[in-house]
Structure 1
């Protein structure tokens, strides 16, 4: 809403921005990588829009941190430019992806990606509705989250004047071999594998709606022809910052 920006809001008067994570899941396609796009249910944040899987950090993230490989706590803090709890964002991205789509970025003791059979699907439902804590699920199944499979590239923070606010870290990851994505039918009502350019075309035609951060991400990668190219781009984006919009002589946070 770049043309309808209210007056300044003091930070102490603003709603607290909830830490969250979202993940761009990729698989190789015939011409270009395909991206897992999910449709959020009406009434939720970005309801009826197509976006990437993700959600807010919960209290169990810190307990689950020890059940991950490929990145230390200090390295995560440095990468995300935070003082502490950087791994919580990685945990949340992996957990939310599993809850919402069944895609599990976790490995078995053999080092292979976890399978997603009927038993795992039943446990997914329990994790999703809170009956089974994420950390307990990982421990019971002898699984370790693959932190090194996530490629961080940016964050977006909702402006101060919004009644609901998030500070969201964006990651990219490749779809694990042998797994299938299936939206949960609750928080998500549809899912599609689409190339970035095709997703943007559907948005332009009015067939689907995209949140602004989703659109900007897709615009950035629409001409890339491989997952490796996207990961290389992500590595180059790992500077902390919030996209800005210049209005006259002022810069304002840019968000939908």
Structure 2
């Protein structure tokens, strides 16, 4: 299988978590129907890397060092944090010199001053970090999965998925542009709602929800991710006499290696 960087777009996705009585809830958004990828689908916030993400990753004063993470890995973490801010208004960052994440009041001011401009492309994330004296909390992201779109698809992505606990006093809300709706929902509930036809899920989202569902808390999910090796998944499309199948590595932990679609 070809995984040449020229064949796909690099992307980052953040799975925001919070604990609830029914188990860990996940913040998910519904894509606008005019978006060219996963239109109308229930997805985790995320998107393509921006050239600015690498610039931020290379500035030690703008993010927290993570042992074992090279420049490329840090760039994906930066992108995940930026996408969370753009798509749902959650900002995993601290003021320079501060030990705690931004409180709701300070975040609200940053959101009002910069989020719309960031989404419109009239200000860079680096400029916001510099102006607001922020340090991105790249240490709070836990790598969870790595998926590459199958060969032959019109748009291909190389996507790294991260887990992160949403700050308690930051309210997540969809941007109203790329995302037209949002919800906090358990993985099991999302799968049930999709089965009932109330939501559409792309294959990668559905399988990652399956992998998230058995865990009873956000802490349990993070601990499981830390103790597990990530197996890259690039589904292979196989034609059969009755239709098509997706083949993925069984070792990736998604409940099998062959799926009908």
Report the TM-score range of the alignment, normalised by the length of the smaller protein.
0.7 to 0.9
Question: Which of 60, 66, 69 in structure 2 is aligned with 1:71?
Answer: 66
TM superposition score normalised by structure 2: 0.84
Higher relative contact order (CA 8 A, sep 6+): 1
Counterparts of 2:228 and 2:121, CA distance in 1: 34
> SS where residue 51 of structure 2 aligns?
coil
Question: Which of 214, 225, 233 in structure 1 is aligned with 2:216?
Answer: 225
Equivalent pairs counted in the alignment come to 239
Match of 1:124 in 2: 115
Deviations 1:25-74 (A, max 9, x none): 000101301110100101321010001000000110111112101415xx
Question: Which of 162, 171, 181 in structure 2 is aligned with 1:190?
Answer: 181
Q: Is the 8 A contact 2:143 2:225 kept in 1?
A: yes
Q: Is the 8 A contact 2:150 2:234 kept in 1?
A: no
State whether structure 2 residue 48 is matched by structure 1 residue 56.
yes
Match of 1:103 in 2: 90
Q: Is the 8 A contact 2:146 2:230 kept in 1?
A: no
State whether structure 2 residue 200 is matched by structure 1 residue 209.
yes
Deviations 1:224-250 (A, max 9, x none): 1111110112123333421556969x9
> SS where residue 111 of structure 2 aligns?
helix
Q: Is the 8 A contact 1:15 1:164 kept in 2?
A: no
Q: Which runs of 5+ in 1 are unaligned?
A: 1-8, 78-83
Are residues 235 and 161 of structure 1, via their aligned partners in 2, closer, same or farther at CA, if it must alter by over 3 Å?
A: same
Q: Which runs of 5+ in 2 are unaligned?
A: 240-244, 249-257
Are residues 117 and 244 of structure 1, via their aligned partners in 2, closer, same or farther at CA, if it must alter by over 3 Å?
A: closer
Say which is worse superposed, 37-46 or 109-118, in terms of deviation.
Answer: 109-118
Match of 1:144 in 2: 135
TM superposition score normalised by structure 1: 0.85
Counterparts of 2:65 and 2:149, CA distance in 1: 30
Q: Is the 8 A contact 1:22 1:55 kept in 2?
A: yes
Counterparts of 1:36 and 1:189, CA distance in 2: 14
Counterparts of 1:20 and 1:97, CA distance in 2: 13
Structure 1 runs of 4+ with >2 Å offset:
9-12, 118-122, 236-240, 243-248, 250-256
Match of 1:241 in 2: 232
**RMSD over aligned Cα atoms:** 2.6
